[in-house]
Amino acid sequence: MAEPLRVLVTGAAGQIAYSLLYSVAKGDVFGPNQPIILVLLDIQPMLGVLEGVVMEMMDCALPLLREVIPSVNEMEAFKDVDVAMLVGAMPRREGMERKDLLAANVKIFKSMGVAIDSQAKKNIKVVVVGNPANTNAYICKKYAPSINPANFTALTRLDQNRAQAQIAAKLGVSNSSVKNCVIWGNHSSTQYPDVNQAVVDLNGKSMPVREAVKDDNWLNNDFIKTVQQRGAAVIKARKLSSAMSAAKAIVDHVRDWWNGVPDGTYVSMAVPSDGSYNIEEGLIYSFPVRTKPDHTYEIVKGLTINDFSREKMDATEKELSEEKNMALSVCES
Ligand code: NAD
Ligand code: LMR
């Protein structure tokens, strides 16, 4: 068997982590032959809860789980980490936008960037989940200059899964029949869920989603709004932000990054822009990416962008650029 991977989950006493940890520890992300050591970081007041989570992880008696290490010390927790799932941050409440969390959360990611820079493995892979996720990832990357910027990503897979599920429900097909829905931009209400490249398997035949749905008005209006507003709708209904679906999306994101996706398919990840599609370089912007079995990815280039898409892609870029400036001033204050 391979050497154990050291996987850190922050916010480990919180609600997303409670849905996430079992799935990671039983092999859903790194596969059935990869042992792991789980490092669980939270803050001092949550230590008691964290100890309960550690007991439960032990009691699952999982074959791949070699060790569970609780921690309330950031510098210790990041030591030699291979993969970090940065969940720990304040969630929004009803009536808030995710960027309203910026002042409260962005300093957490500055401090994590500093810890990553000095403690983690140099090829660490990071996914930021805590909101505003793209901008937090931008800050984390900035404060970890010794790490390849491409190794900092933020989660927009939940949005992709939401888009895919809406299309599958509309067509009455299984979720796995729908491929290549793209999320562009920010994990916020300006994100642009785009089905122009998406395809669906109908009775063994692959066809463009637009052709199958035959309702451009729905695709250009209600579909987009539903996906953009889904997080708020869950908060309104549950009085808590999404957790089960968020955990599933984290598993999907890291599994696909780690293992690669089949030829001809791609997934959405918020990653540092390299200027593709004229998006400001360095912003953590959600693009379609092709992931590879060597744990790398590339932004899918050359997709046709019509005027409708361009306008929406630019609007979400503008929001990210503004968030970036706000975050930088918070970090420098
Ligand atoms: P939660 O309040 O249940 O748990 C958050 C945990 O983080 C708490 O245990 C808290 O003590 C801990 N924490 C706070 N500061 C920390 C720090 N500096 N270091 C380590 N741990 C720290 O919240 P949740 O529902 O698990 O959500 C966590 C975050 O994920 C929120 O910001 C939420 O908005 C975000 N979220 C993002 C997505 C996405 O798709 N990107 C989806 C769902 C939720
Ligand atoms: C989500 O998309 O469900 C999360 O980002 C939580 C939120 O604040 O919407």
Which residue CA neighbors atom 7 of ligand 2 most closely? 231
Range of the domain at 72: 5-154
CATH number at residue 265: 3.90.110.10
Q: Which residues contact 180 (CB under 8 A, 6 or more apart)?
A: 197, 198, 199, 265, 266, 288
Assess whether 300 and 245 both reside in one domain: yes
**pLDDT tens for each residue of the chain, 333 residues long:** 789 999 999 999 999 999 999 999 999 999 999 999 999 999 999 999 999 999 999 999 999 999 999 999 999 999 999 999 999 998 888 888 888 899 889 999 999 999 999 999 999 999 999 999 999 999 999 999 999 999 999 999 999 999 999 999 999 999 999 999 999 999 999 999 999 999 999 988 999 999 999 999 999 999 999 999 999 999 999 999 999 999 999 999 999 999 999 999 999 999 999 999 999 999 999 999 999 999 999 999 999 999 999 999 999 999 999 999 999 999 988
Assess whether 118 and 173 both reside in one domain: no
Two tokens, residue 185: 């931009």
Please report whether residue 316 resides in a domain.
yes
Residue 160 in contact with ligand 2 by CB distance below 6 A = no
Which residue CA neighbors atom 1 of ligand 1 most closely? 14
Residue 253 in contact with ligand 2 by CB distance below 6 A = no
Please report whether residue 69 resides in a domain.
yes
Query: What ipTM was predicted for this assembly?
Result: 0.99
Residue with tokens 């042992």: 35
Contact (Cβ atoms closer than 8 angstroms) between residue 110 and residue 116: no
Assess whether 270 and 305 both reside in one domain: yes
pTM above 0.95, yes or no: yes
Please report whether residue 44 resides in a domain.
yes
Assess whether 110 and 37 both reside in one domain: yes
Name beta bridge partners: 6: 37
Torsion of CA 164, 243, 105, 43, to 10 degrees: -150
Whether 253 is catalytic: no
Angle, CA 219 vertex, CA 196 and CA 227 arms, to 5°: 95
The residue from 124, 154, 184 where one domain ends is 154
Please report whether residue 38 resides in a domain.
yes
Q: Is 180 annotated as a binding residue?
A: no
Please report whether residue 10 resides in a domain.
yes
Q: Which of 6, 121, 179, 187 is catalytic?
A: 187
